[in-house]
Structure 1
């Protein structure tokens, strides 16, 4: 009588397979966990850069010097008509919506004449992501032309 050889896996082979696959799945899940945790970071940085860009653009569109020659009556952003009026401005001056409460915004206007060789103001907009302490800094020049 011939005996047929049985095919299949032994219990030990099956247990080893389960352990190896389980370790692989655990490794993949831990990597995915790190990726998901860090996925919001680029969005925060991009949003901070967009905010800094919009503020810098607004400031650079203003006149180099005060058109009416006086700062009398310029109490807030709607009245600011030249670049120097924005010096020291913060997010309170720009009336940021509550959704952007996690950012700190500052504007600095300094003399840029020595750098460019012509009468100019250097505008530096800094937006800090308060949760991470990371800052996005954009700078631009407004020349007197």
Structure 2
């Protein structure tokens, strides 16, 4: 009545082989995922240092690069440091200026020589400070670049050092392209 063909199924041996193969594949996947988890924790300080350096570079590059301090009445129109009314801009902060202080940095030049300083955020209530990380900023003349005079270029270098890890370095060039920038 029943043909031999309709009675066909999976044997116990076939089922055991299938279970062994699936078990080996599952244990391999779990092992790989565990290794990835351990490795991702090891690179976290470096990734955080990269993010800190990029954020600090964005902060610096957003500042004006003028011949005069932005508080100088001639800052918007001066085409040389001699045209400043009273406050020509030089490398380093003006007296009393600090990063994120009551009198904050207001020009790219002000960041020259900043650090090494622990990483702190302007709103400490939003994010806790990162212990073990320090930032250092160097600002110097970049020299003439593609026809732009050396006096109108700055090389900004940021080094962020996480605890027990190699430092992360970023470099950028800022060009003064008009009196108001």
Render the CA deviation track for 1:64-85: whole Å, top value 9, x for unaligned.
Answer: 4452248662352335343333
User: C-alpha displacement at 1:30, in angstroms?
Assistant: 1.3
CA pair 140-94 structure 1, distance change in 2 beyond 3 A? farther
User: C-alpha displacement at 1:106, in angstroms?
Assistant: 1.7
124, 138, 145: which one aligns with 1:108:
138
Q: Distance in 2 between matches of 1:110 and 1:83?
A: 10
Q: Distance in 2 between matches of 1:58 and 1:18?
A: 57
* Residue 76, structure 1, aligned to residue 85, structure 2: no
Task: Tell me which moved more, 103-112 or 47-56.
Answer: 47-56
8 Å contact from structure 2 (residues 119, 133) kept in 1 = no
- How many pairs align? 140
CA pair 6-127 structure 1, distance change in 2 beyond 3 A? same
91, 95, 106: which one aligns with 2:120:
95
* SS in structure 2 at match of 1:30: helix
Q: What root-mean-square deviation, in Å, do the aligned CA atoms of Structure 1 and Structure 2 show?
A: 3.7
TM-score normalised per structure 2: 0.55
Q: Distance in 2 between matches of 1:13 and 1:36?
A: 35
